[in-house]
Amino acid sequence: MNQSIIHIALVVNDYDEAIDFYTKKLHFTLVEDTYQPEQDKRWVVVSPPGSVGTTILLAKASKAEQEPFIGNQTGGRVFLFLNTDDFDRDYRDMVSNGIEFVREPKEQEYGKVAVFKDLYGNLWDLLQLNEDHPMAKRAR
């Protein structure tokens, strides 16, 4: 059996501001932006540079009960984990692009990590796994 998680939905306030943040500040690729007239919404998918795995579906809050979750999808815990092949390069680039880090870079037993906020306040780990970490081969 082969299965995979293809998308993770991220609730956003506005499609265009989210696309701008992810493509310009984090250098993600805009994979798809398709209007769906029957639902009067857009199907917007972004992906980290060079990634062939799970993508992020930017899902605009369409109901009042969804709005409180913008920026707080996991109740204040780190939500997403962005692995990189060059932590220092990406950290410097993100800082120069105005990304707010709430925990500075730190060496851990599994690799190097720092925590940043996306445009809505969701917490992300920027990390570079050590080569011997079990997930390191899967993250490439």
Whole-angstrom CA distances from 90 to 52, 53, 55, 94, 99 are: 19, 19, 19, 6, 11
List Cβ neighbours of 71 (8 Å cut-off, separation of 6 or more).
Answer: 118, 120, 121, 122
pTM, two decimal places = 0.92
What values do phi and psi take at 17, rounded to 5? -70, -35
d(CA 11, CA 101): 21
Cα 59 to its chain centre, rounded Å, is: 13
* Over residues 87-93, mean pLDDT: 98
* Of 88, 77, 86, 92, residue with least CA distance to 124: 77
Q: What is the pLDDT of residue 35?
A: 97
pLDDT at residue number 139: 59
What are the structure tokens assigned to 40, written together? 């009067």
Nearest to 5 by CA among 50, 42, 57: 57
Q: In this prediction, what percent of the chain has a pLDDT beyond 90?
A: 90
Q: How confident is the model at residue 132 (pLDDT cuts 50, 70, 90)?
A: confident
Which domains does the chain possess? 1-70 (3.10.180.10), 72-140 (3.10.180.10)
* pLDDT band, very low/low/confident/very high, at 138 (cuts 50, 70, 90): low
Which residue in the block uniquely carries the two structure tokens 């970490």? Answer: 133
